[in-house]
Amino acid sequence: MSVNKQNQSEIEKEAAAKTAVSFVRDNDIVGLGTGSTAKFAIEELAKLVNNGLKIIGVASSIKTEELAVSLGIPMQELGKTSHIDISIDGADEFSETLDLIKGGGGALFREKIVASLSKNRIIVTDSSKKVEKLGAFKVPIEVIPTAYQYVVNELEKLNGIVNLRYKEGKIFISDNNNYIVDVDFGLIDKPQKLSESLNQIDGLLAHGLFVSLTSKIIMAKDGQLFTFSKD
């Protein structure tokens, strides 16, 4: 990505994030996503908190929690949270049917729990993430290490090409002390069907297909905001 395109992408992410934050209300429990787009939302929320907005944040990753705490946002443990009023997160890909691929940062399990607990689930993104069909971005999958080879075998039966994720020359370890594999299924015609098949694999903790887990997508492009929703 060129410097100009990268700068434009950052500008778009920030614009979409600020719009999403405008839906947050006093006394809300707010799910905080992970990644570059969610970071803009967290920073904007922190400004509002410092100006008197009363919220409690719930983080989808250790990195997000550390950022939110450093900015003065009161936090609550995800495992002790029974409901979330609104969550704001990004996506690696999305379609107009509001299906997503998430997990590029490796936080897909906690992100999925946050989304599942949320009444209002908002995704913020720049225009580069919009696709007609999911699948150009490989599907991240979190795998319990002791089940690794079994899960790989099962994913290959689904015609997936599996790559174990590495970072800085070492196997990437998630916040939950598991592996992440990135799986190429090609373009995905039926995300719901694939999601259901993946859910049946023992040892697969979570996958990055988010189906029926989004209320609204706010996308910025060329200085304009576009909203996709099922309303």
Evaluate whether residue 229 is within a structural domain.
no
Domain containing residue 196: 139-207
Judge if 180 and 215 occupy the same domain. Answer: no
pTM of full prediction above 0.75: yes
Q: What is the pLDDT of residue 170?
A: 97
Per residue in 34-85, pLDDT (tens digit) is 988 899 999 999 999 999 999 999 999 999 999 999 999 999 999 999 999 9
Judge if 165 and 183 occupy the same domain. Answer: yes
Phi-psi region of 169 (alpha: psi -120 to 50; beta: other; left: phi over 0): left
Rg (CA), the chain: 17
Q: Is 111 a catalytic residue?
A: yes
Annotated active-site residue in 14, 111, 142, 154: 111
Pairing mode, strands 166-167 and 170-171? antiparallel
pLDDT bin (cut points 50, 70, 90) of residue 2 is: low
- The encoded tokens of residue 67 equal 């950022």
Pairing mode, strands 216-221 and 118-126? parallel
Domain total for the chain? Answer: 2
Please name which of 39, 35, 116, 43 lies closest in space to residue 81, comparing C-alpha atoms.
116
The annotated binding site for substrate is made up of 34-37, 89-92, 102-105, 129
CB 208 within 8 A of CB 140: yes
CATH number of the domain where residue 180 is located: 3.30.70.260
Please name which of 86, 85, 87, 92 lies closest in space to residue 125, comparing C-alpha atoms.
92
